Every structure is written in structure tokens, then in C-alpha cells.
Structure 1
Amino acid sequence: MTSQTAVDSPPISRSYRTWALFLLMLIYLSNFVDRIIISVLGEAIKADLKISDGQMGLLAGLAFASSYGLMCIPIARLAERFRRTTVIAVAITVWSAFTALCGMAHTFTQLLLFRIGVGGGEAGYAPAAQSLISDYYPPEKRASALAVFALGVPLGTLFGALAGGYIAQHIDWRAAFLIVGAPGLILAIVVKLFLKEPRRGQSDPSPVAAAEAPPLISVVRTLAGSPAFLLMTAGLALVSLTSFGLTQFMAPFFIRVFGFDYTQAGMALGLLGGVSAALGTMVGGWLTDRAALRNRSWYALIGGLGALAAIPFYLFGFGQQTAPLALAVLFLGPIGLFCGQAPVYAFTHNLVAPRMRASATALVIVALTLIGAGLGPYLTGAVMDAVNAHLFQTRFAGDFLVACPGGKGATPDLAEACRVTLAEGARYSLMAMISLLVLPGGLFLIAGRYVERDLDRAAARNTSHGDA
């Protein structure tokens, strides 16, 4: 059934849209639990399957991102033409099933293939969900609404880290995948039965829905004509490169440097990638909606200032010698790092016509996924492999990968040498990755010069041509 059946849908009440937003955020939470749980399970998987940090980065990054990037735009185009609620229900079912299958993997190749399946399923969710939210909420409330939706990322990280760490500690890593994959099937049923499909453009100032979705090339031309969009998307993609790399190796950092067990490492990842990132996400959306009433350049400036402010906290935190102080300082980093996400999506939705929003969101997400989720963990793991090899060769005159398969040494002396190398390598590698935030910070600040002009042009275009 196409979404045209929703053209005559009744107005969405405030209570219903609040419930719908909470449901969509809850699904995003499940989405990110299934995506991120491999981060906290990384050390257990690495030891069991005897793989390197680079291979772990491949599992968490490129394996997932390749299928996500390949499927995101085609599925978003379906969401422009058909009921978005159906697209969402199918996507949940697919990614949940493949997450459970990850728990049945016994080789690196099997796990790689199942992670590809998870990425393909998750590709269908965010574009359709964000399109729904922009039809539930008017432009002046979208940054806050999308910030609530984006809470699924840090809260999913928090839940996935805590649950994954606990299950890995008390059962094993395969059970963690099986357990977190199951709830998605229930959410798919709830979506199919209870989530309403609103009329396209229902909450826009001039709610005129096009009979047909514009071709993808029209969406691309609209976005490519906005310097602010190009700079903000590039900036957010580079922020994502750093943040996904940090997320994948934050738990290993605390295990290697401070001797945390899986449960403790999961709690640390949950605190930083969950609680702190959630604060940053909400603060960014809330500040943007209010600051943009006076100057819409804040859609870009929030992300730039946040990325630059995060750098010293991460550098200082990774250099600490005690876990409590490291956690206290590192807690401040994600607040800045995550405050630019919701403003970028809100700006994008305000820039394009209603039937372009799922596709526009997909284009942003493809950039974030390929550069951030795809390259971030892999690049961070590759840097760690290189730093570990250099440190081990310099200090112990040996080949790290040969002497420390899976990060473990065969003798007590060798085990200690491997432990020291992994700990110092984690510090230096994560510091190096954080330094890259200077570039996206600058891109966001430059984008601020173009935001007002680009939004004025978009408003004139949409007023003249409706939703074409």
C-alpha cells in the first residue's frame, strides 16, 4: 500500500506524536544495541577467534557499513513511495534476525557475513523514521524532536554496553548477540499494528504533498546547491569517523590500560557513549532550536564549537593514570562531540521538500556510515595495530602479531610484554584519532556563513514550486 493512503489522514494529536516519537527512539535504541554490542564484546571475540584489532575494526566498521551504504538509498526511495511504517517493520525484522545469527558464528568469515546482514537491515530504518518525525513536528520543533530520536544512539550504546558486558562476563559473547536480537521482532509487530502513517508535509507551513516522489537526481541537486549542507555533512561525517572509532575501542582501552573486566568496561562505555553522549545530543538539539530563532547559523555553529571543545577533554582523559580521573575527564568529551548531530538533520529536513526527506536523510547517513562507521573503527584498529607493532619492535625486538596472537602471550614474560604494549598503544592511538576533530570543527564554522542564505533560498523554492 502506498503512502498516498495517508494523504487524507486526520491531524496528529500532541499526545500521539509524543508516543510515536518515543516508540521511534526506542526502536533506534534497539537498532544501536544490535549495531554497537560488538564493541563491548570485542576483546572476548578477539581472544576466541584469534583476530587482530584491524579485523575487529573490519567487523564493527566496513562489514557493517558496506551493506548499510549500499542499501540505504534504495530503501529510502521506497520510503518516499510506500508506507514508511511498513518499511520500518521489515527493516527491524531483518536486522534483528541477523544480530541473533551473529551469536551462531564460529569463524571470522561467518561473523563478517552476519554483520553485513545487520548493516543491510539497519539501512532501512533511520531515513524512514526521520521522515515520519518531520511530518509529526513543525520546523521550529524539529531539532528538539530529532534530538530525542537521536537519543537512541547513546541510550542504545548504554544498554548495549551494560548488557553485552554483563552477558559476556557471566555467559559468553555468543549469548549476548542472541539475547539482544530477540526484542526487535516484538517492536516490528508494534510498528505494524500501531504506528500511524501521517500525510507527507503535514506539519509544514504550506502542507502540499506531491503526487509522486521527485527523482533522486532532484534531491541530489537540491542538496548539492547548498554549501552549508555540503560542509555540515562533511563535518559530521568526520566527527562520526572519530566517534565510531572511539566507541569500538573505548571498552578495550579500559580493559587494557586499567584492567577492567567485561562488566566494568561495559559500564565505562555506557557512561561515556551513553549518558554523556545523550546529554550532548539533547543539549545540541535544545540549544539549536532556541538559538536558531535569532540566528539560524547556529544549525552549523553548535557542531563546530562542540567538536573543538571536545578535543582537550579527550586528550587529557586518555593520558590519566587512574581510572576514576580518566572517566571523570572523558565524560565531558562526548557532550561536545555529539551536540552537532540533531542540528544537521534538522537543517537538512528544513532545506528540502517533504517528499525528499527520506532520501536526503539517507544521503547524509550514507556519508556518515561509509566514512564514520565504515572507516572509523577500521582506521582506529589499523592505527592501533601499527602503533602496537612499533612499540613491541622498539622495546622487545619482536613481531607483535606473532608474539601476541589475540593480544595474549604464551609465557608470563611475553604476556606482560603484550599487556604493556596494548595499554600504551591504546593511549597513543586514541589520542591520535581525537586530534582529527580539528578538521570537522573548522568545516562546521565555515558552514555557518551559508546557513541563512541557503534556508532562505529553500523557502522561496518550496513556496514557488510546492513539493516538486
Structure 2
Amino acid sequence: MKDLNQKASASPIGRGDAYPSPAYGWYVTVVLLLGFTFSFVDRQVLNLLVEPIRKDLEISDTQISFLQGFAFAITYVLASIPIGRMVDRFNRVRIMIWGVLVWSATTIACGLSRNYTHLLVARMGVGAGEAALSPAAWSVLADYFHPDRLSRPISVYLMGPYIGAGIAMIAGAEVLDFTREMTSITVPILGDLAPWQFTFIAVGLPGVLIAALIATVREPVRMRRRDAQVTVPPWREVWAYMRSNRRVYTALHLGVPFIVVMLYGLQSWTPTILVRVYEWDLADAGRIYGLIALVAGSLGVLSGPFVARFLERRGRNDPALLVAITGAAMATGFLASIPLQPSATGALVCIAGASFSVTLPLALITSAMQRVTPNEMRGVVNGAYVVTTNVIGLALGPTLVAACTDYVFGDPNAVARSLGLVSMFMGPIAMLLLWSGASAMRRKFADS
């Protein structure tokens, strides 16, 4: 594999007028979708393993939430801006390959962990590796599709988290079901492993194949640069551009993360809600929630561009923020209703509605961010978005729910009430921040 030090300018870079063929662009989209899907399998499988890990390691819900959120998010965040800068300078495909290899190796390391500290450190490695994928993938897709056609491939790429979460839940449930009667599994060389450890190793191994598949993608020409003679602008120019459009980026970089708080709270604690509140078997909870995450989440992210086009035909040139505000309001209502449901059926309807609503605007937000950002700044701007969505969304989502369960209600069975309470605060904050940037976004779109 060649060194990353082959700079972006080694590819044929310029303003670019002719985009690559749509067929090859869609091939790249599918490959990146597979990469994003497996990144979320490795990220989300922990959510199904909460109860066995908690019992084996004798830890609290709050400690589990650090594994789900903080441990992953801290390295994901710290790596995102430097990697974003690399995306603007170097070969983006190679950056993604190395990211896949790192997160896959550290997912396997999660399965080899013998105590809480080891598992915490391994989760930090998963976060560092996964930070490489989306900033590079968004930048690559923006060079394979014209801005007017970008929202659909972005929406397909953003199906990855929901397909991945679904696969993680369903496959993890099958592994747990298969190993239900086993106290340990003997693996050659590795020795005796608990079923939850074996599950981590099983989902980490396919990463080598994903890295090989991404290696078949060609680094595209960098399109639509503001200045064909400038390869990468200095930091101060990037931050000056963001400051001059601060209302737009406040909505994108701060408003959306509060929606993501609800998303990660939902993903992290739904299996546990079904087990504790409705007394489901853990494997059944994984299968059913996995199916909901896969179907409702994917439908939400795919529906966003169709809703946007419907609004554009009726004269709205700011569909991204309008759909985001609507999605945040709907998700808040569904999540707040979960603890009011007397049966698991009612709770599952609310969970499905929330899964659809919270994902509805995500593809539109991502494609809007590519549209309002010059090509040579996209890596840093995308990296900043990754930072805020994870500092606010991933770090806070699981932990706020756990903290409410442990310290506000003081009852493990109150986890559904905790999720509802957190959402009733996060949703309105998201809507207010998104609304604050709506007029600036309309002007920016009119100029682009």
C-alpha cells in the first residue's frame, strides 16, 4: 500500500467541469455504504451486550455509558479535525483504508479485554479509526456527483448507520442465542472467551475485506475549487470563512448534534428498555430492534431528499433546515411517549416513529454542508461537524440517559423515562438552533 504522503495534488486537480460517470459514482457510493455499515456494526454491537458486560465486569449503567459514548467520542473527536485536514491535502481513499484497518483491529481488541480499563482503551481505538471514514467519504462523493444530484447518494451512504445498527443487533442476537447455554467459548490461541467477547471478535474480522473493497475505489478529481491555483487554504482562511457564515454553520454544527443526542440515546438504550421494562429476552430484543433500526432508520434517511424536492417545487430553497426542525419535533414526541406505553407493542411503534423522524434530515444536512462549503475546505468543515455531533451527540446521548436512570430516578427500570426526559430537553434546543440559521441558509443557497 502506498504512503499517505502522496498529496491530493498528485491526482488531477483543478476546477473540474465534467463529473465522472454516474454508474461509477454509484459503485463508489455502494462501496462506501458498506464501509459505513460495518463501522456501525462495530460501533453499535456494544449496545446489545450491555447486560452481559455489566454483569461480568460488575459495572454500573454510567460506566457502560462511558463505553458507549465518551470512550469512543473522545478519540473520534480528537482525530477528526487533523484527519479532516489530511482529507483536504492527501489521498482520501488511502485515509479511509487505514481507518477501516484501525477500527477493525481495535474492535477485535474489545473482545480480548479482560477488565473495564482494557475495554475502555479498546473502544477509544475504535473511535480513532472510525474518525477517518465520513470526512473522506463525503468529500469523495461531492467530487463524484454534481451538487444538484448529491443528496441522493449522500442519503444512500447515510443508510449505513441504520443498516449497521440493525445488523449489529440481529447478528449479535443470533450469536448470543447460539451461545446461550455456554459460560465460555474456547478459541484456539485465544483461550476461553465469554460470549460477549466472542461477539466483538466476530464482528471485527470482516474489516479486512472492507478495506480491500475500498482499495478498488479511484481517487477522484477535486471539483469546483474557488481557486484552481490554491491546493489547500491556510487554517486562518478556513476559520474566517466559517465565521463569515457563522449562522449557517451554527445551525449545521450545533443544531444537528442535539438531534443526534436523541438518536444515540435511542440506539444505546432501546434493547435495555425492552429487557428491563417489558421483560423481553435479550436476543429477542436485539432481533426486533435490529429490524426496526434497519427499516425505519433507512426509510427516514432515504425519504429526506424526496421531501426536500417536494418543498423545493413549492418555492422553498431551505428544505434541509425545515425538514430538520420537523424531524426534531416528531422525534421528541415519539421518544417522550415511550414510557407512557403499557405494552411493548406501543413502545415499539414509538421507537419506530422516532427512528424514522430522527434520521429524516441527516442526508439533507450533509449535502447542504457540501453545497455551502468550498471544495478545498470541506475536509476541515466536515471534520468540525464530526467533532460537534460526537462531542454533543455521542458523548452526551448515552450518558445523559444513564445519569438520569442512576441519579435522577435511582431505578434501573426507569430507563425509558430517562430517555423521554432527555429528549424533551434536547429536541427544543435543536429546533431553536436550526431555526436561528434558516434565513442565512436561504441566502447562501440563493447565492450558490
TM-score by length of 1: 0.86
Identify the match of residue 6 of structure 1 among 4, 11, 20: 11
Deviation per CA, 1:251-277: give whole Å up to 9, x if none: 100010111222211123313433211
1:195: which partner in 2? 217
1:178: which partner in 2? 201
The 2-side partners of 1:351 and 1:314 are apart by 32
Matches within 5 A, 1:272-287: 272-287=292-307
The 1-side partners of 2:416 and 2:354 are apart by 15
The 1-side partners of 2:29 and 2:229 are apart by 24
Identity of aligned residues (%): 27
Deviation per CA, 1:90-131: give whole Å up to 9, x if none: 000000000011001110000000000000111111000100
The 2-side partners of 1:326 and 1:452 are apart by 38
Structure 1 position 264 matched with structure 2 position 264 = no
Matched letter for residue 377 of structure 1: P
Name the CA shift for 1:177/1:214 in 2 (closer, same or farther; >3 Å).
same
Check the 8 A contact 2:251/2:435 in 1, yes or no.
no
Check the 8 A contact 1:271/1:331 in 2, yes or no.
no
1:219: which partner in 2? 238
Identify the match of residue 422 of structure 1 among 403, 412, 419: 412
Name the CA shift for 1:37/1:161 in 2 (closer, same or farther; >3 Å).
same
Question: How far 1:20 sits from its partner (Å)?
Answer: 0.6
> Which stretch of structure 1 is more off in the superposition, 363-372 or 140-149?
140-149
Question: How far 1:371 sits from its partner (Å)?
Answer: 0.8
Check the 8 A contact 2:401/2:422 in 1, yes or no.
yes
Deviation per CA, 1:33-84: give whole Å up to 9, x if none: 1111111111111111111110011001110000000011111111111110
The 1-side partners of 2:120 and 2:24 are apart by 40
1:160: which partner in 2? 168
The 1-side partners of 2:272 and 2:405 are apart by 11
The 1-side partners of 2:388 and 2:161 are apart by 17
Matched letter for residue 341 of structure 1: L
Name the CA shift for 1:209/1:373 in 2 (closer, same or farther; >3 Å).
farther
1:126: which partner in 2? 134
Name the CA shift for 1:334/1:209 in 2 (closer, same or farther; >3 Å).
farther
Structure 1 position 57 matched with structure 2 position 98 = no
Question: How far 1:291 sits from its partner (Å)?
Answer: 2.9
Question: How far 1:456 sits from its partner (Å)?
Answer: 4.1
Structure 1 position 435 matched with structure 2 position 427 = no
Question: How far 1:207 sits from its partner (Å)?
Answer: 8.3
Structure 2 counterpart SS, 1:258: coil
Identify the match of residue 107 of structure 1 among 109, 115, 118: 115
Matched letter for residue 432 of structure 1: L
The 2-side partners of 1:115 and 1:243 are apart by 20
Check the 8 A contact 1:93/1:184 in 2, yes or no.
yes
The 1-side partners of 2:170 and 2:339 are apart by 21
1:83: which partner in 2? 91
Matched residues, number: 422
> Which stretch of structure 1 is more off in the superposition, 179-188 or 214-223?
214-223
The 2-side partners of 1:3 and 1:157 are apart by 33
Question: How far 1:165 sits from its partner (Å)?
Answer: 2.1
Matches within 5 A, 1:56-455: 56-171=64-179, 172-192=195-215, 194-201=216-223, 204=224, 209-226=228-245, 227-292=247-312, 294-389=315-410, 421-423=411-413, 425-436=414-425, 437-455=427-445
Question: How far 1:330 sits from its partner (Å)?
Answer: 2.4
The 1-side partners of 2:160 and 2:270 are apart by 19
The 2-side partners of 1:268 and 1:233 are apart by 32
The 2-side partners of 1:114 and 1:158 are apart by 23
TM-score by length of 2: 0.90
Name the CA shift for 1:36/1:217 in 2 (closer, same or farther; >3 Å).
farther
Check the 8 A contact 1:39/1:60 in 2, yes or no.
yes
Deviation per CA, 1:158-196: give whole Å up to 9, x if none: 11111122213323111111011111111112222x101
Deviation per CA, 1:283-330: give whole Å up to 9, x if none: 113322453463221121100011102222222233212112221232
Structure 1 position 33 matched with structure 2 position 41 = yes
Matched letter for residue 232 of structure 2: A
The 2-side partners of 1:257 and 1:158 are apart by 21
The 2-side partners of 1:255 and 1:199 are apart by 50
2:54: which partner in 1? 46
Question: How far 1:208 sits from its partner (Å)?
Answer: 6.2
Uncovered stretches (5+) of structure 1, i.e. residues with no partner: 390-420, 460-468
Structure 1 counterpart SS, 2:150: helix
Check the 8 A contact 2:36/2:164 in 1, yes or no.
yes
Deviation per CA, 1:317-366: give whole Å up to 9, x if none: 33212112221232112211111211211111111111111211111010
> Which stretch of structure 1 is more off in the superposition, 267-276 or 43-52?
267-276
The root-mean-square deviation of aligned C-alpha atoms, in Å, is 1.8
